[in-house]
Amino acid sequence: MKRKATYRIFTIRREMMRVGDQIDHTLMLTEMEGEPLEYEKGVAGEFVSRHSVGFHDRIKGSGPMQGYAVTTFEDGQVYSRYEGHRDAATKITKGTWKVYKGTGKLKNLSGDGTFTVTSGSQPEEYILKIEGDYSL
């Protein structure tokens, strides 16, 4: 089944280190939480929380990123891995995600798809749009 969702995500912790091989080359580890702006309730019930940890390798604001997300619902959790690329000029990150584990009513869930992250209206706030195909 095809599904779409939009989340407001917030940076709750960020560690950044300069690589030193060239100007503006940094590595970042981020921890984020989120809440749905638009989502369709599924078999696992209401949304409870979304938590992610990501690694970013950027030169002058552009570069690859990857990480893991856990989305919790009343009757199950979805664990997914994601990877993408941020473009400094547009400040947009695009990439792919894939479910690697589910629990509760989602224990047999599989799925993959795409995502886009844009800046939100507040500092450290972003809008995450995901879409993909799932099967139970």
Q: What is the pLDDT of residue 55?
A: 98
| Inter-residue contact 32 to 8 (CB < 8 Å) | no
Q: What is the pLDDT of residue 111?
A: 96
pLDDT (tens digit, 0 to 9) for every residue of the chain, 136 residues total?
Answer: 899 999 999 999 999 999 999 999 999 999 999 999 999 888 999 999 999 999 999 999 999 999 999 999 999 999 999 999 999 999 999 999 999 999 999 999 999 999 999 999 998 999 999 999 999 9
Total Cβ atoms within 10 A of residue 81: 15
Q: Is the dihedral of CA 76, 95, 16, 61 positive or negative?
A: negative
Total Cβ atoms within 10 A of residue 46: 11
The CATH number that domain 2-131 falls under is 2.40.350.10
Q: Which of 88, 85, 82, 57 is nearest to 69 (CA)?
A: 82
Residues comprising the chain, all counted: 136
Residue position matching structure tokens 């879409």: 131
- Give the CA distances from residue 42 to residues 46, 93, 114, 119, in Å, rounded to whole numbers and listed in that order: 8, 27, 19, 27
The residues spanned by each domain of the chain are 2-131
Q: What is the pLDDT of residue 113?
A: 98
Q: What is the pLDDT of residue 133?
A: 95
| Inter-residue contact 34 to 8 (CB < 8 Å) | yes
Total Cβ atoms within 10 A of residue 90: 11
Strand partners, 82: 67, 97
Total Cβ atoms within 10 A of residue 82: 23
Strand partners, 2: 133
